[in-house]
Chains A and B, each alone.
Chain A
Amino acid sequence: MTVVAGIGPDGRGMHAVHLAGRIAASTEEDLLLCCVVSDAWGRGSAASGADADWRRHLEGMATEAMAEARTIPPPEVRVDAVVRTARSVPRELVTASERADASILVVGSAGDALMGHVALGNVSTWLLHRASLPVALSPRSFWSEPTDRLERLVLAVDSDAAVDSALDATTLLARRAGVGLGLVTFGVRRLPALPDGGGRRADDAVYEAWREQIDAFQARAASLVEETGVPVTDRIVAVADSWRGAVNKVHWREGDMLVMTSSREGPVRRIFLGSNAPRIMGHVPVPVLTLPRR
């Protein structure tokens, strides 16, 4: 199995290489660096001749970026690199991943992500909606020393279906990396300022019912995970009045990776994030691994 890291010809996405290197070293897999040069016009189009010089320039840049990227992963990881030209960058990344029998495809955050945070860009959004393999997003300016490894996976739980869908892939990754698994559920609860006829705490009953459900989901998930031999390190319910507040309630550690599943609305075997996932992602200070729906 291989971990694939996608980088841009301009050297964007180097932090994806840091993350991919860390994962590959933790799970003892090979690493494939894949740089896709976007060729929007396509060969054979009227503009392709005029475009050729520009493309050659980009390919030259890509080769330089590759040379730099090769120095990043820990020395014990076997690294390969390919440069490709394609009309669709994300589609080509998926094709390369399939050829390499990839376990995970790693891409970087959009350029406008907050320092240390994850943000979706064009490529990652496409991948999350359509890729049928696990996709990891590295936070902006993510940095990993050659000795750093994954320390803990944190699985986001919001339904039994999400757990069932994520269980195999997550426990497999945890076992290969030799790490424990935390369970987390995020929730946003905003209480109205005004009392109304339902009483000022009208929402408490709703919240209690929610907690009961979540505790049941987590208990079930924990027993399923333990059955596979992976230790469950924490069970966290993080609730605040905003997604950001909820994410910040979790005591994140260096070496964590958050694992999220696609939502139920998504087509089978396609990653389609629930409406909350992008909002949660934007505030998470650790890498995020999204699993396609099974």
Chain B
Amino acid sequence: MGAQQSSFAAQIFRRMPVGRRPHTEEGLKRTIGLVQLVGFGVGATVGTGIFFVLTEAVPNAGPGVVVSFVIAAVTAGLTALCYAELAGSVPVSGSSYSYAYATLGEVVAMVVAACLLLEYGVSASAVAVGWSEYLNQLLDNLFGVQIPHDLSYAPEAGGVVNLPAMVLVVLCALLLIRGASESATVNTIMVGIKVAVLLLFIAIAATGWNSDNLADFAPFGVAGIQAASATIFFSYIGLDAVSTAGDEVKDPARTMPKAIIISLIIVSTLYVAVALTAVAAQPWQDFEGQQAGLAQILENVTGSTWPSTVLAAGAVISIFSITLVVMYGQTRILFTMGRDRMLPPIFARVNPRTLTPIPNTIIVATVVALIAGFIPLNWLLDTVSIGTLVAFMVVSLGVIILRRRAPDLERTFKVPLYPVLPLLSIAACIYVLTGLALVTWVVFLIWVAVALAFYFSYGFRRSTLRTGAGDEEATS
């Protein structure tokens, strides 16, 4: 019995040997410097949630939302540092699923994968829903027409289906199937647009500054601020992108923490300024249910439509690109899982003509589009946050476990102030997580249970680690 148990444990905690993944290209050159890395961090983070997160967070926290932004930023920074160490101890590039698989074992990797489906799949849906709000605002400003209410809101939000969000997801999927990706130039332009419209917002909203709006700073006390910080965490997702570039960074031990901290300071400064000018420009009670919130505020402050039109246009363009990038990330994570046979091999099928995993992309797009079409934004944001936070918590825990288990492992980057920093990171995650509503937790735990049930019925028996099988030829 005891022997059986230990063998079961050995099976579910088996680890992916790192040498198993061949490198396609010759060893990556360490060419990325501090500036470029900060560019990654800011580019991947800024703009994801800031365009619509205030509408959801301010009704909980009031003007105290500014503090929530700082809490979320500190949490994001701590977890990103831990993530960088874990990424630096596995000599392949990958997602936190891959790192968990290589260091913590198969069953943990599956839990992380379930979290990543929330962090990517559901966040793609959330972003698409936010996009449809700004699209409607833009159409209204430019042509005085809007897509009918029934067709632009989920049932819970008083509509029938959010069609624009679904259309956006389908468009992105088509682009991905054709092999589109964001070039460095396009990405730079997108980051430029995002930062420019946020600066425009700050400058114009500041003209409507009214200190009376800040008087009731924390109407729901600390609990409200804490709850809002969980929702707001959504807008810092992407900072972990810095960590995954570790094997290409010059002098990672010094550059990595600097890059993470600098990009975090840039992003959170922008966010805090946006939040502060927003809550000073209108009473906190007005945020609830506001569509395309930032554009609305500009319209109310100036009484004219052009600033809101510019902001909405910037949001429509840049959120489109965010949706594309997030969906891309999701398909590639699922591809790796398909190759590891933690998922059916259909996810690892590559079309010979387009070099893209077409069935995988179609499955992702279908699920993301359905969620975007039928589930309201406020439900989505918290689900994304809980998934991301739990994944990061596992990563922080992983750093501690790995330091104990393999102290001599070569690491390109080590977190400073060990073990304080990983423990702080875990504590910050727990603090933010406890602010989430019970229903979010229930949904999340059910989801993880489903993922584990799938693992025990599929991956547990079929994973390449167990069977030792390579890839079958998957042709399409």
Which residue of B240, B245, B473 is within 8 Å of A213 (Cβ)?
A: B473
Q: Residue of A at shortest CB range from B178?
A: A275
Quick check: is A217 within 8 A (CB to CB) of the other chain?
Answer: yes
Quick check: is A87 within 8 A (CB to CB) of the other chain?
Answer: no
Contact B353 A194 (CB under 8 A): no
Q: Interface-forming stretch among B20-28, B302-310, B377-385?
A: B20-28
CB distance from B87 to the nearest CB of A (A): 8
A213 to B355, CA, bound (A): 10
Quick check: is A188 within 8 A (CB to CB) of the other chain?
Answer: yes
Residues of B266-305 whose CB lies within 8 A of A? none
Contact B355 A210 (CB under 8 A): yes
Q: Which residues of the other chain, A, contact B187 by a CB distance below 8 angstroms?
A: 192-194
Quick check: is B429 within 8 A (CB to CB) of the other chain?
Answer: no
Q: Residue of A at shortest CB range from B241?
A: A195
Q: Residue of B at shortest CB range from A209?
A: B350
Residues 202-234 of chain B, each 1 if its beta carbon lies under 8 Å from chain A, else 0: 000000000000000000000000000000000
Q: Interface-forming stretch among A18-26, A44-52, A72-80, A198-206?
A: A198-206
Contact A211 B95 (CB under 8 A): no
Quick check: is B100 within 8 A (CB to CB) of the other chain?
Answer: no
Quick check: is B43 within 8 A (CB to CB) of the other chain?
Answer: yes
CB distance from B241 to the nearest CB of A (A): 4
CB distance from B310 to the nearest CB of A (A): 25
Q: Residue of B at shortest CB range from A185?
A: B352
Q: A200-B248, A205-B339 are in contact. Are A194 and B350 (CB under 8 A)?
A: no
Q: Which residues of the other chain, B, contact A196 by a CB distance below 8 angstroms?
A: 44, 238, 241, 244, 325-326, 328-329, 332
Contact B248 A190 (CB under 8 A): no
Quick check: is A148 within 8 A (CB to CB) of the other chain?
Answer: no
Q: Which residues of the other chain, B, contact A200 by a CB distance below 8 angstroms?
A: 93, 241, 244-245, 248
A63 to B244, CA, bound (A): 69
A205 to B92, CA, bound (A): 11
Contact B475 A160 (CB under 8 A): yes
Q: Residue of A at shortest CB range from B340?
A: A205
Residues 155-199 of chain A, each 1 if its beta carbon lies under 8 Å from chain B, else 0: 000111000000000000000000000000101111111111111
Q: Which residues of the other chain, B, contact A207 by a CB distance below 8 angstroms?
A: 24, 355
Q: Residue of B at shortest CB range from A211?
A: B24
Residues 178-191 of chain B, each 1 if its beta carbon lies under 8 Å from chain A, else 0: 01111111111000
Looking at A189, A207, A209, which has the most chain B CB atoms within 10 Å of its CB? Answer: A209
Q: Which residues of the other chain, B, contact A263 by a CB distance below 8 angstroms?
A: 353
Contact B25 A204 (CB under 8 A): yes
A192 to B352, CA, bound (A): 20
A194 to B98, CA, bound (A): 19
Which residue of A193, A204, A209 is within 8 Å of B23 (Cβ)?
A: A204
Contact B241 A213 (CB under 8 A): no
Quick check: is B460 within 8 A (CB to CB) of the other chain?
Answer: no
Q: Which residues of the other chain, B, contact A206 by a CB distance below 8 angstroms?
A: 332, 335, 350, 355-357
Quick check: is A274 within 8 A (CB to CB) of the other chain?
Answer: yes
Contact A209 B93 (CB under 8 A): no
Quick check: is A216 within 8 A (CB to CB) of the other chain?
Answer: yes
Quick check: is B474 within 8 A (CB to CB) of the other chain?
Answer: yes
Q: Which residues of the other chain, A, contact B24 by a CB distance below 8 angstroms?
A: 204, 207-208, 211
Quick check: is B348 within 8 A (CB to CB) of the other chain?
Answer: yes
Which residue of A197, A212, A217, A274 is within 8 Å of B240 (Cβ)?
A: A197
Residues of B19-41 whose CB lies within 8 A of A? 21-25, 28, 40
Quick check: is A276 within 8 A (CB to CB) of the other chain?
Answer: yes
Quick check: is A214 within 8 A (CB to CB) of the other chain?
Answer: yes
A203 to B356, CA, bound (A): 9
Q: Residue of B at shortest CB range from A241?
A: B183
Residues 87-101 of chain B, each 1 if its beta carbon lies under 8 Å from chain A, else 0: 100001111101000
Q: Residue of A at shortest CB range from B326?
A: A196
A249 to B23, CA, bound (A): 22
Q: Which residues of the other chain, A, contact B355 by a CB distance below 8 angstroms?
A: 187-189, 206-207, 210, 239
Contact A197 B333 (CB under 8 A): yes
A76 to B261, CA, bound (A): 77
CB distance from B173 to the nearest CB of A (A): 16
Contact A158 B473 (CB under 8 A): no
Q: A158-B352, A191-B181, A202-B329 are in contact. Are A197 and B116 (CB under 8 A)?
A: yes
Which residue of A187, A190, A217 is within 8 Å of B181 (Cβ)?
A: A190
Binding site for B on A (CB under 8 A): 158-160, 185, 187-214, 216-217, 239, 263, 274-276
Having A185-B352, A206-B355, one finds 14 other A-B pairs with CB under 8 Å, namely A188-B179, A190-B181, A192-B187, A193-B185, A196-B332, A198-B336, A199-B92, A200-B93, A201-B28, A202-B332, A203-B332, A210-B355, A211-B24, A276-B354
Nearest first, the 9 A-B pairs at minimum CB distance are A202-B332, A199-B93, A196-B329, A198-B332, A193-B184, A201-B93, A192-B181, A193-B187, A199-B244
